[in-house]
Copies of this chain bind each other. A is one copy, B any other.
Amino acid sequence: MTETQGTSLGPLGIVAGSGALPRRLIESCRAAGREVFVLALAGEADRTTVDGVPHAWCRIGAAARGFDLLRANAVTELVLAGAVRRPSLSALRPDWRAAKFFARVGYRALGDDGLLSAVIKELEREGFRVVGVDKLLEADALLPAGPLGQFRPDAQAAADIEHGLRLARAIGALDIGQAVVVQQGLVLGVEAIEGTDGLLRRCARLRRAGPGGVLVKTAKPAQEQRVDRPTIGAHTVSLAAGAGLRGIAAEAGATLILDRAEVIRAADEAGLFVVGVSG
């Protein structure tokens, strides 16, 4: 039997977390004529994500029900899209299938970056093919190297970006978060479980006098590339502007841009730079 492509694969299974990425992916699939079935994670995915789309809601801890739903809908290819706040063990209430998984990887993995890789391995063990969201979006969905809009970092901002990159990588290696905000060498904030939006809102109250800071976002070094990629949207630009920042730097070739045209428009209007950086 030869491998088949396109719709003959059955609908693409989208396990949807929070944010705009899952809906963006659904639109991309529709434009490409690919059917989808969305497994919307309760408490994470937005209601609007699944508007007019075949879907079911599922608790994160209800793994057995999740597998049943995917199979009942003929899903063989799967993508994880959107953010998922890690639940505490108490909030997770694992069913027998999730408990079996945790018996293997250990409950302590809940706080561990290895958890995502283990989840993907488990999905593959169940026979699903797991693909990265960037493989399913348009080619321009990844942030390229260099400035995206009309503004560029000056020397002070470039120094803050360099410092922020070093810190964001270290924070990522510790499995704490993906982002930091640096202003004139001072670390205004570090992202942990609150996410980038929460970080930016808080930094609005922490800014110092003088030239504003930068948001620096990187992929975690150990990050499973098929899930939880750093993501930037027009919403990020608007929160960054509200926090008095001068721009956003994120890892080129690894960061998803939710809507490039909108991000550029928002950045140019607000006078912010958005720049893809590497190394």
> Taking beta carbons and an 8 Å cutoff, which residues of A are in contact with B?
86-91, 108, 110-112, 159, 163, 167, 170-171, 174-177, 180, 182-190, 192-194, 198, 202, 206, 208-211
Contact = CB atoms under 8 A, between A and B. Distances in A.
7 tightest A-B CB contacts, nearest first: A90-B210, A111-B185, A88-B208, A91-B209, A190-B190, A90-B209, A88-B210
A136 B121 CA distance: 58
Given A86-B186, A189-B192, 9 more contacts: A90-B209, A91-B210, A108-B159, A110-B185, A110-B186, A180-B192, A187-B193, A194-B206, A198-B202
Contact of A187 (B90, B91, B108, B192): B192
* Copies of this protein chain in the complex: 2
Contact of A185 (B112, B170, B188, B208): B112
A108 B185 contact: yes
B194 A189 contact: yes
A250 B106 CA distance: 28
A183 B88 contact: yes
A89 B211 CA distance: 9
Contact of A110 (B87, B112, B184, B190): B184
28 contacts: A87-B208, A88-B208, A88-B209, A89-B210, A90-B209, A90-B211, A91-B208, A91-B210, A110-B184, A110-B186, A111-B185, A111-B186, A111-B187, A167-B174, A167-B176, A170-B170, A170-B174, A171-B174, A175-B187, A177-B187, A188-B193, A190-B190, A190-B192, A192-B206, A194-B202, A194-B206, A198-B202, A202-B202
